[in-house]
Amino acid sequence: MSGSMPPHPTDGAAGPRGYIPVLDGLRAVAILLVLAAHAGLERVVPGAFGVTLFFFISGYLITRQLLVALARTGRVSLGNFYLRRVLRLAPAGVAYVAVSGLAYVALGGRISALGWLAAVFYGANLYDLWIGYRSTLAGMRHPFNILWSLAIEEHFYAVWPLALAAVWRWRHAACGLLAICLAVLAWRIWLFGHCTWHFSAVCGRVQTNPLWRYNRLYQGTDTRIDSIAWGALLAVLEHSRPHTRILARLWPLGAILLFASLIPLGGEFTRQALRTTVQGAGLVLLFPHLLQARGWIGRALCAPTALLIGRLSYSLYLWHWGAFAVADRVAGQARPLWLAVALPLAGGLAAASYFLVEQPVLRLRRRVGSHAV
């Protein structure tokens, strides 16, 4: 409408080309949680929730865009969709694999040919669980361990556009997504009880590290794909039944109660089997409120610093792991020196990746329908 006001910067309404500023602010929250946990604060900072938030945002945003395309044209251009995914992830991803992998090998580390292929073609989580990215350099993490979450995303999106195009008109499509989320929960519970101390085709490689079962449940495509599906579920719900104002006000309370339920439960069963389901369901309730956030929450999520960190979040997620590996090598257990090396290096590498690798392909991404700013 001529003369209409632009959307408030903290509104859930999309801005130019469908851009939603709040989502970058939420990405900033997610990456800061991950960075803090990986920097040694995992006992007090929920880094795992940061990864769940990344998954949820991805599922919500991409499903929302697919539904807009389906409503407008009745179809999804699969060629353009997959090309957008490649152009979004591959340039920085391949650059990270090449630079970090070659640096690791130059220092004396070993990476098998299959390990390289898994890293490049989004099989890193499966390789790590069934074969293992085990560092051959004492005191230094393997640079490819961080790639597991990218693999899960691409496994989901390999089939999701086709599945959504088939069911988006179905009145009970949201029920089908909810059933998938609950089925993944049931599968995690079964694995928790049956993956003990022996190798099997479903349990993966038994490790001397007592966290091996946790890693199986945390990094498996079959056990974490629900974190993306919860975000897709919210997008489908909003598309079919936009929530009322009253409901939007009640949902945050339900989310808080869900998140709070994790505190008294505790224990390995909650941590390994239940936690991601509670987080996903809680985000379904909380996310609509965050998208419409005003006041200090809205200002914080849409502050220039938050938006910048959010736009750098993919590069930060990749390169911080390599930077932290360098700090392992240089500083060892000397904590002040480790932080002095790790944090500036992570920021510098991420910025270089963003401006020198990601930004040059932005125009090409827009030609195939990307809403990137």
pLDDT digits (tens, 9 = 90+) for 262-300: 555 667 888 888 889 988 988 988 888 888 777 788 888
Residues 279 and 49: beta-carbon distance below 8 Å? yes
Mean pLDDT of 75-88: 86
Helix axes 21-36, 47-73, angle to 10 degrees: 150
Is residue 370 in a domain? no
Residue 184: per-residue pLDDT = 95
Nearest residue to 125 (alpha-carbon basis) of 207, 219, 211: 219
Is residue 147 in a domain? yes
Which of 105-114, 132-141, 258-267, 324-333 holds the top average pLDDT? Answer: 105-114
Task: Give tens-digit pLDDT for 165-179.
Answer: 888 878 788 888 999
| Count of structural domains, the chain | 1
Is residue 21 in a domain? yes
Mean pLDDT of 91-112: 94
Q: What is the pTM of this model?
A: 0.87
Nearest residue to 45 (alpha-carbon basis) of 29, 33, 31: 33
Half-sphere exposure of 197 (CA within 13 A, CB side): 3
Is residue 203 in a domain? yes
Residue 224: per-residue pLDDT = 94
Q: Reduced to 3 states, what is the DSSP secondary structure of residue 200?
A: strand
Give strand pairing partners of 200.
204
Alpha carbons 122 and 215: distance in angstroms, whole number = 17
Residues 190 and 222: beta-carbon distance below 8 Å? no
Mean pLDDT of 135-139: 85
Residue 150: per-residue pLDDT = 95
Residue 84: per-residue pLDDT = 86
Judged against a pLDDT cut of 90, whether residue 156 lies above it is answered with yes
Residue 11: per-residue pLDDT = 39
Judged against a pLDDT cut of 90, whether residue 316 lies above it is answered with yes
Per-residue confidence band for 9, with pLDDT thresholds at 50, 70 and 90: very low
Is residue 371 in a domain? no
Judged against a pLDDT cut of 90, whether residue 58 lies above it is answered with yes
Residues 204 and 129: beta-carbon distance below 8 Å? yes
Judged against a pLDDT cut of 90, whether residue 35 lies above it is answered with yes
Instruction: Supply the mean pLDDT for the chain.
Output: 84
Question: Which H helix or E strand runs over 106?
Answer: helix 78-106
Is residue 365 in a domain? no
Is residue 127 in a domain? yes
Residue 254: per-residue pLDDT = 62
Mean pLDDT of 198-225: 79
Q: If you compute the radius of gyration of the chain from its CA atoms, what whole number of angstroms results?
A: 21
Give strand pairing partners of 204.
200
Mean pLDDT of 113-120: 95
Residue 142: per-residue pLDDT = 93
- Report the Cα 314 to chain-centroid distance in Å: 9
Residue 10: per-residue pLDDT = 37
Alpha carbons 263 and 282: distance in angstroms, whole number = 14
C-alpha dihedral (171, 176, 182, 186), degrees to nearest 10: 150
Residue 341: per-residue pLDDT = 93
Nearest residue to 230 (alpha-carbon basis) of 184, 195, 261, 273: 184
Alpha carbons 254 and 278: distance in angstroms, whole number = 11
Is residue 263 in a domain? yes
Instruction: Give percent of the chain above pLDDT 70.
Output: 84
Q: Give me the residue label for tokens 């391949």.
A: 94
Judged against a pLDDT cut of 90, whether residue 200 lies above it is answered with no
Kindly report the number of other CB atoms within 10 A of residue 189's CB atom: 16
Domain of residue 20 covers 16-339
> What one-letter code names the amino acid at 79?
G
